[in-house]
Amino acid sequence: MGIKVLAVANQKGGVGKTTTALSLGAALHRLGKRTVVMDLDPHACASIHLAHYPEDLTHTVLDIFYAEKDALPELWTRVLNREEVPGFDFAAASIRLSELEMDLKSRPGRGAIFKEALELLPEDYDYIVLDCPPHVGVLLVNALVASDLVIIPIQTDFLALHGLRLIFDTIRTLNRVLPQPIRFRALPTMFDRRAGACRRVLNLLRKKLGDKMFETVINLDTNFREASAKGKVIYEIDEKSRGAIEYSLLAKEIIAHENA
């Protein structure tokens, strides 16, 4: 079946990208999939969440962008951390990732650097989950180009629908130059079933996106906030919580889809 790269992306901020990357990574691991989560956001939220503080790190995904091809397999072993809990491997971000834009400006093929580097990973993984930054740029492009599937978390409120076009425009622009179109599916997040507005947004999304939406819906769950405050994933807070169960459903939906 080969490695599957899942990029979690939306240019809209605060829609649940980082929560999805970490929770889905943990869910895939719990289903027996060899999984690595990588933080491609200069804000390093996922890294800080897992207590990898940018100021203390000697090796981050940033190094991968500057490495010679020959050096990559060994460099990956330094960049990858084994997280006993939640169980996946993890590659942390550097705040200097924000400088990549300038540094790579004149590098030919700069959008495919990460895709090529992932081919030299020394470990056999089933899934690579990429947490993307909330803005367009060379990092997002590298993540999208490397991906087999883009997961687009969409917060189910009306304001969140504004700005949603941005991510679809980015995908469409890239598809004009890529040999294969980027596959994507939207994931409704922070759904509040008691709120009529939320239900209307969900119906609207289903109508507009059809099978480009996951069946799984991630509901509001205060356990996510508690998890991030404690530097844990939701399974460590309460594996029977709604949020934990829903990310397991999402993982199963993704696995089933690959096998279909």
Ligand X SMILES: Nc1ncnc2c1ncn2[C@@H]1O[C@H](COP(=O)(O)OP(=O)(O)OP(=O)(O)O)[C@@H](O)[C@H]1O
User: Which residues bind to ligand X, rule: CB under 6 A?
Assistant: 13-19, 41, 45, 134, 189-190, 218, 220-221, 224-225, 228, 243
Q: In this complex, which beta carbon is closest to ligand X, that of residue 28 or of residue 67?
A: 28
Compute the least distance from the CB of residue 116 to ligand X, in Å. Answer: 25
Helices 223-230/242-259 angle, 10° precision: 90
User: Which of ligand X, Mg ion, none does 86 bind, CB closer than 5 to 8 A by kind?
Assistant: none
The piece of 11-19, 82-90, 121-129, 182-190 that touches Mg ion (CB under 5 A) is 11-19
Q: Say if residue 179 is preceded by a cis peptide, omega within 30 of 0.
A: no
CA distance 228 to 94: 19
Q: In this complex, which beta carbon is closest to Mg ion, that of residue 130 or of residue 244?
A: 130
Compute the least distance from the CB of residue 79 to ligand X, in Å. Answer: 21
The piece of 40-48, 108-116, 159-167, 225-233 that touches Mg ion (CB under 5 A) is 40-48
Q: Is 18 in the site for Mg ion (CB under 5 A)?
A: yes
Compute the least distance from the CB of residue 228 to ligand X, in Å. Answer: 5
Compute the least distance from the CB of residue 200 to ligand X, in Å. Answer: 18
CA distance 87 to 89: 7
User: Which of Mg ion, ligand X, none does 190 bind, CB closer than 5 to 8 A by kind?
Assistant: ligand X
CA distance 179 to 35: 27
Q: Is 17 in the site for Mg ion (CB under 5 A)?
A: yes
CA distance 192 to 143: 30
Site for Mg ion, residues 194 to 213, rule: CB under 5 A: none
User: Which of Mg ion, ligand X, none does 63 bind, CB closer than 5 to 8 A by kind?
Assistant: none
Q: Is 45 in the site for Mg ion (CB under 5 A)?
A: yes
Side chain identity, residue 51: A
Q: Is 30 in the site for Mg ion (CB under 5 A)?
A: no
Runs of H (alpha helix) within the chain: 17-30, 45-49, 61-66, 72-79, 100-103, 113-118, 138-146, 158-161, 164-175, 196-209, 223-230, 234-237, 242-259
Question: How is residue 108 written in tokens?
Answer: 């030919």
